[in-house]
Structure 1
Amino acid sequence: MGSCCSTSDDSSQHELDQQARPAQPPSNMPPRNHVVTLEKKWAYHAVDGYELNNNTWGLESATSGSQRTHYDGPCPSGASGAAGISWSTDWEWQGGEHNVKSYVYGARQFERRLLSEIQALPTEAEWHYSTWDVRANVAYDIFTDPDKDHANSSGEFEVMIWLAKLGGVWPISDSKAPIAHVEICGHQWEVHFGYNHGGAMKVYSFLPVNGPIQHFSADVKQFFNFLSHQFQFPQHNQYMLVYQLGTEAFTGGPAEFVVPKFIADVV
Structure 2
Amino acid sequence: MLFQLTLAGLLTVAAASPVAAPVTPVRRQAATLCDQYGYYAANGYEFNNNNWGKGAASSGSQCTTVQSTSSSGVSWSTNWNWQGGQNNVKSYANAGKQFAKGLVIANIKSMPTNIQWDYQPRDIRANVAYDVFTAADPNHDKSSGDYELMIWLARIGGVYPIGNKVTTVNVAGYSWDLYVGPNGSMKVFSFIPSDGSWKLSFNADVKQFFNYLAQNQGYPINNQNLIVFQQGTEPFTGAAKYTVNSYSASINV
Q: TM-score range by the shorter chain?
A: 0.7 to 0.9
Which of 209, 219, 222 matches 1:233? 219
Q: 2:54 aligns with which of 50, 53, 59?
A: 59
Q: What is the identity percentage for the equivalent residue pairs of Structure 1 and Structure 2?
A: 45
In the alignment, is the contact (CA less than 8 A) between 2:42 and 2:69 conserved in 1? no
Q: Distance in 2 between matches of 1:250 and 1:33?
A: 30
Match of 1:182 in 2: 169
Q: 1:204-252 CA deviation, whole Å, 9 max, x = no partner?
A: 0000112110100000000000001101211100001000000001100
Partner of 2:73: 84
Aligned residue pairs, count: 225
- How far 1:34 sits from its partner (Å)? 2.9
Where does structure 2 lack aligned partners over 5 or more consecutive residues? Answer: 1-25
Counterpart position of 1:191: 178
Question: Structure 2 matches for 1:1-267, cutoff 5 A?
Answer: 33-74=28-69, 83-112=72-101, 113-173=103-163, 176=164, 178-197=165-184, 200-210=185-195, 211-253=197-239, 255-267=240-252
Q: Mind listing any 5+ residue stretches in structure 1 that lack a counterpart?
A: 1-30, 76-81
Q: 1:125 to 1:179 in 2, by over 3 A?
A: same
Rounded to whole Å, the distance in 2 between the matches of 1:74 and 1:201 is 32
Alpha-carbon contact 2:150-2:190 (below 8 Å) kept:
yes
Indicate how the Cα distance of structure 1 residues 32 and 186 shifts in structure 2: closer, same or farther if over 3 A, else same.
Answer: farther
Residue 98 of structure 1 deviates from its aligned partner by 1.1
SS of residue matched to 2:228: coil
Quote the residue 1:21 is aligned against: none
**Alpha-carbon distance between aligned partners in 2 of 1:183 and 1:70, rounded to the nearest angstrom:** 34
State the shift of 1:33 in Å. Answer: 4.6
1:170: Cα distance to partner? 0.4
SS at 1:188 equivalent: strand
SS of 1:224's equivalent in the other structure is helix
Q: Which amino acid in structure 1 is aligned with residue 216 of structure 2?
A: Q
Rg comparison, structure with higher value: 2
**Residue type matched to 1:39 in 2?**
C
Indicate the SS of the match to 1:226. helix
Runs (4+) of structure 1 exceeding 6 A deviation are none
- Note closer, same or farther for the CA distance 1:32–1:64 as it changes in structure 2 (3 Å cut): farther
